[in-house]
Amino acid sequence: MIGSKNEAIKASLKATKARRMHQSCRVFMVKLDKSHLNTETLHHLRMLFLEAKWLYNHILGQPNVFEMDYKLSAVPVKVKDTFELRHLSQLSSHMKQSLITRTRDNIRGLARLKEHGRNIGSLKFKSRVDSIPLKQYGNTYRLLNAKYLRIQGITQQLRVNGLAQIPRGSELANATLIQRHGDYYVAITTYQVKEQKTPPPDKTVGIDFGLKTQLTLSDGIAIRYSILLSLSKRLRKLHQQLSRQQYRSNNWYHTRRQLEKAYATLNNIKTDIKNKLVHYLQATYGIVCYQDENLKAWQRLWGSKILSTALGGIIRTLETKVQTPIKVDRFFPSTKTCSRCGNIREIGLDERVYICPVCRLVIDRDFNSSVNLEHEGLTQQVVPTGRRDVKPVETESSTMASLEYLNGIPYVIASSVVEAGSLTALA
């Protein structure tokens, strides 16, 4: 009887794995609405993550993690110089099993890295655990409707924001309960039918990355984005406030939580800009040529200004998302070379306009560099190309459509190179 049941489980898992090979996986983050949580539920959530920390540190203290029993009901916790026995009353058996399994997987991952010659450390004891796996949909968690879900062990129905973003007909899998700067989130893994890939566009583009103008495209579009200065002022104010407060007092924890939220907002803005710009480049151009920039050297020169641009993230994402990314050598003189005749001349950092002494071309330096990168990248790809007479707006309708889309991205200012050395934003 037991054997037939195990066979049925194995067959079900095999069928699920075969089905998901033809599906795409997406993770959606939804936020628990704290204003609708009662005192008992808030206490339960706080205790869940506290018990998860106790259990995780107990797992690391075991001589053999792979022989641990997930049915344990209490663990010893170090308090100053002694150990006290703490009961795990809020964590369910499934949550305990998931935490143990995740720790085992982390240890196996470190072992594989060590086998490949990587210099690795070991897992460390934690002062807090910020995520708890919810392994089985319908058991450890389940969606009730478009606004509520339920988590195992919590009697209250949890109101959440963001469930509407999950497409209808999606197959729900595991999830993760996350604690982040005082708020609670649930990351839900879903599977959908794979969309048929559209053929890549035949357009090519060169991209010049910079500090003043973050992206300049070879078709005459300049993209700038500025993270809100008010956020930077708020960060400085919060850091000053934190430094004046008593260490680990209630006010100190409150200010630190506000600081974490401010940094999270800043990072979310940068991630959103990066994703939308890369999506635009992926959907518009089949071949993208860019230079292998030495961003570490840039950071040594300009510090946090480089960090606020997220150029490193854009470059890394381009390498995986674009159909044909072409990386031009770091030492190629894209800024010094005339995009019309190929003459090379020295140009200072303060010169925003490139003037060729041979063919008398007058052109914005970043735009000139992007055209050279496109030409060099296509030459590497063995695509027939020649130097062209630079006309910033070759197809006015497509350029206007691109500018309209790019200016619709929050914090992004897209411009057209309408005359030499000048950038004019879309009105």
Give the least confident one: 118-132, 220-234, 304-318. 220-234
Q: Judge whether residue 121 has pLDDT over 70.
A: yes
Q: Identify whether residues 280 and 179 lie together within a single domain.
A: no
Q: Identify whether residues 260 and 401 lie together within a single domain.
A: yes
Torsion, Cα 131 137 140 142, to 10 degrees, reads 100
Residue 372 within a domain = yes
Residue pair 126/110 in contact by the 8 Å Cβ criterion? no
Report the relative pairing of strands 287-291 and 324-328 from DSSP bridges. parallel
Residue range 74-81: average pLDDT? Answer: 92
Count of structural domains within the chain: 2
Distance CA 125, CA 53 (A): 9
The partner residues of 177 in beta bridges, in order of sequence, read 132, 186
pLDDT at 109: 94
Q: Identify whether residues 148 and 167 lie together within a single domain.
A: yes
Q: Identify whether residues 187 and 208 lie together within a single domain.
A: no
Q: Identify whether residues 132 and 262 lie together within a single domain.
A: no
pLDDT at 421: 42
Residue 419 within a domain = yes
Out of 147, 171, 193, pick the residue that ends a domain. 193
pLDDT at 425: 40
Assign 381 a pLDDT band (cuts: 50, 70, 90): confident
Report the relative pairing of strands 74-79 and 82-87 from DSSP bridges. antiparallel
Residue range 203-211: average pLDDT? Answer: 93
pLDDT at 393: 46
Q: What is the pTM of this model?
A: 0.82
Q: Judge whether residue 230 has pLDDT over 60.
A: no
DSSP state of 67: G
Q: Identify whether residues 130 and 247 lie together within a single domain.
A: no
Residue 7 within a domain = no
Residue pair 90/51 in contact by the 8 Å Cβ criterion? yes
Write the DSSP string, 282-293. Answer: HHH-SEEEEE--
Distance CA 62, CA 14 (A): 33
Residue 262 within a domain = yes
Residue range 339-364: average pLDDT? Answer: 91
Residue range 151-160: average pLDDT? Answer: 96
Tell me which residue range forms the domain holding 342.
Answer: 204-425
pLDDT at 199: 73
pLDDT at 304: 74
Give CA separation, 121 vs 103, 107, 111, 114, in Å: 15, 11, 10, 9
Q: Identify whether residues 289 and 333 lie together within a single domain.
A: yes
Give the least confident one: 33-47, 117-131, 228-242, 353-367. 228-242
Residue 198 within a domain = no
Out of 168, 193, 218, pick the residue that ends a domain. 193
Residue range 333-352: average pLDDT? Answer: 91
Out of 169, 193, 217, pick the residue that ends a domain. 193
Residue 15 within a domain = no
Q: Identify whether residues 208 and 127 lie together within a single domain.
A: no
Residue 11 within a domain = no
Q: Identify whether residues 159 and 213 lie together within a single domain.
A: no
Q: Cα-atom radius of gyration of the chain, to the nearest Å? A: 27
Q: Judge whether residue 408 has pLDDT over 90.
A: yes
Tell me the per-residue pLDDT of 166-202, one tens digit each, with 9 for 90 and over: 998 899 999 999 999 889 999 999 999 887 777 778 8
Q: Judge whether residue 14 has pLDDT over 80.
A: no
pLDDT at 265: 87
Per the prediction, the chain carries an average pLDDT of 87
Instruction: Decide: helix, strand or coil at residue 205.
Output: strand
Tell me the per-residue pLDDT of 233-248, one tens digit each, with 9 for 90 and over: 888 899 999 999 999 9
pLDDT at 5: 61
Tell me the per-residue pLDDT of 27-53, one tens digit each, with 9 for 90 and over: 999 999 999 999 999 999 999 999 999
Q: Identify whether residues 80 and 115 lie together within a single domain.
A: yes
User: pLDDT above 70 covers what percent of the chain?
Assistant: 89
Nearest CA among 83, 77, 122 for reference residue 103:
122
Q: Please count the residues of the chain.
A: 427
Give the least confident one: 160-164, 242-246, 379-383. 379-383
The partner residues of 77 in beta bridges, in order of sequence, read 84
pLDDT at 284: 92
Residue 17: what are its φ and ψ, rounded to 5°? -65, -40
Write the DSSP string, 267-313. Answer: HHHHHHHHHHHHHHHHHH-SEEEEE---HHHHHHHHTHHHHHHTHHH
pLDDT at 229: 53
Residue range 319-328: average pLDDT? Answer: 92
70 or 7, greater pLDDT: 70
Give the least confident one: 42-51, 133-142, 270-279, 391-400. 391-400
Assign 231 a pLDDT band (cuts: 50, 70, 90): low
Question: Residue with structure tokens 């090379």?
Answer: 344
Residue 41 within a domain = yes
Write the DSSP string, 131-142. Answer: EEEE-SBTTTEE
Q: Identify whether residues 213 and 168 lie together within a single domain.
A: no
Give the Cα-Cα-Cα angle 64, 102, 100 (nearest 5 degrees).
Answer: 45
Q: Identify whether residues 310 and 162 lie together within a single domain.
A: no
